[in-house]
Structure 1
């Protein structure tokens, strides 16, 4: 919006008398499209008003529009009166400054800071600032709060404010650095914990696999031993049966060899003499049995 101030900056070059410079200030602060005034404030013709007893208050008024608030206006005496457009604009610009602290954004606080008559006037001011593109905000009538999410950077810097702003920026940068370090440390811890979990899981899987292999090998060994025992018992039984049969045959053979069979044989008669002899030995016709082994 600085470009909208250009016409007033150009006109300031011809405002060689204090009255013309004061009128130019009134026109610039009443315009609905001008919200920054630093360039106009720095012109020689406007700064020359500080030497004018009658119009130096206009210079002070322009400074308040540039970087002050409505409370600064009401607390400073001998300032020019504000028309309706000037009063609305100064309240809108003051809202941008007050929005830096959320504690300033209650209906009661805004009503007091901006010299508004009631809560309805506060709501109307916020709505006008929203439509002007100065803030993004929501009204919360139930809790009596104005919730501002963003503001436009339309306030000028007050003299001597740069060192404090630099300190604020350094503090903010330090907090950002500390936060980033904390985040990096947390990320490192998370990565280390994830790596440890992965290693533990891998070791657990390897240990489980090893135990399973050992159990499997042990079962195979027991099975093999059982098979060997069964096979040995079967071989022993088979060999015992074979040896037993062979022993039985040998004993039977010996028994057959030792057993003698008795066979009765008849001897032929050798005649009467033989008969007489037989009779003399035991009677006629008697047979003599001879034993022999078969």
Structure 2
């Protein structure tokens, strides 16, 4: 969107090149294009035959170099050649500093107030902040000021800088290196993902085996408990049956056995030797009693 807007702003100047038949007219056209607040790309204007013809003019060839600096150069490169280039008006100076900020933003370590002040030809930190604010409002960058740490934090830059001649091969090399790093990173990520999946599968299998072993132990314990319970239940049942059988036999015949036992005890008592104080008659009576008990 920013490029489209900048190209639309450049269209009137491209149309005027058709009538810029003299070197002075072409030089004036360059001054007007670089002073316009909405023009930020200049490759199309730079490639027109009328502008390229300035290289043959000893008086106005410096305007061609000035347009090249606006296209892909920086304020520092202008300052280096300032003695051989046309002076900048305020609008041109502001725009060249804004465009230079887009180039400098590629290196975050150059975004300190001190580095920007030196690279953009500014006199104090306040001027740096004003320039960054103007670039933000112009839609050139997304940035935040950090006065406490004297830094500028730029999160995005508009693609409004033209490519310097011969920059394509180096850019391709940079893109190839970036692509190689991405491929290496993807391989590392795939290996890490595979390792994580393998570890997760191992944990799952271990958990499954542990669960199965636990269930097996629980089942064995349950069966064992049932066996002990069955044995105890059988023993209790046997004792109950024995008692029931004993009671049954006691009702039918075991009663006589018990009575016989009692008779034996009575007989044992009766058969004890008589005391000395007992009379002979008493002995005789007891003998009769023993005889009668034996008969019973």
TM-score by length of 2: 0.79
Determine if the alignment matches structure 1 residue 150 to structure 2 residue 136.
no
2:11 maps to which of 6, 16, 39: 6
Note the C-alpha offset of 1:200.
2.1
Note the C-alpha offset of 1:181.
2.1
For the residues of structure 1 that align with 2:95 and 2:248, how far apart are their CA atoms? 127
Determine if the alignment matches structure 1 residue 160 to structure 2 residue 166.
yes
Note the C-alpha offset of 1:120.
1.1
Structure-to-structure mapping, 1:1-294, within 5 angstroms: 1-76=6-81, 77-236=83-242
Note the C-alpha offset of 1:242.
6.7
For the residues of structure 1 that align with 2:67 and 2:172, how far apart are their CA atoms? 25
For the residues of structure 2 that align with 1:90 and 1:63, how far apart are their CA atoms? 11
Deviations 1:6-51 (A, max 9, x none): 1111111221211111111111101111000000000011111111
Q: Secondary structure at the match of 1:13?
A: helix
Classify 1:22/1:243 alpha carbon distance in 2 versus 1 (closer, same or farther; 3 Å). Answer: same
Classify 1:29/1:240 alpha carbon distance in 2 versus 1 (closer, same or farther; 3 Å). Answer: same
Q: Secondary structure at the match of 1:148?
A: strand
For the residues of structure 1 that align with 2:156 and 2:232, how far apart are their CA atoms? 85
Q: Which has the larger radius of gyration?
A: 1
Q: Secondary structure at the match of 1:202?
A: helix
Q: Secondary structure at the match of 2:114?
A: helix
For the residues of structure 2 that align with 1:137 and 1:241, how far apart are their CA atoms? 106
| Alignment RMSD | 2.3
Note the C-alpha offset of 1:90.
0.3
For the residues of structure 1 that align with 2:136 and 2:218, how far apart are their CA atoms? 72
For the residues of structure 2 that align with 1:39 and 1:54, how far apart are their CA atoms? 23
For the residues of structure 2 that align with 1:181 and 1:16, how far apart are their CA atoms? 59
How many equivalent residue pairs? 254
Deviations 1:153-178 (A, max 9, x none): 10000000001111111111122222
For the residues of structure 2 that align with 1:52 and 1:143, how far apart are their CA atoms? 49
TM-score by length of 1: 0.80
Q: Secondary structure at the match of 1:147?
A: strand
Note the C-alpha offset of 1:235.
4.2
For the residues of structure 1 that align with 2:248 and 2:66, how far apart are their CA atoms? 134
The structure with more helix, counted as a fraction of residues: 2
Classify 1:240/1:116 alpha carbon distance in 2 versus 1 (closer, same or farther; 3 Å). Answer: same
Bigger CA drift: 34-43 or 193-202? 193-202
Segments of structure 1 that go 5 or more residues without pairing to the other structure are 253-292
For the residues of structure 1 that align with 2:96 and 2:254, how far apart are their CA atoms? 135
Deviations 1:117-147 (A, max 9, x none): 1111111111111111111111111111111
Note the C-alpha offset of 1:194.
2.3
What's the counterpart of residue 274 of structure 1? none
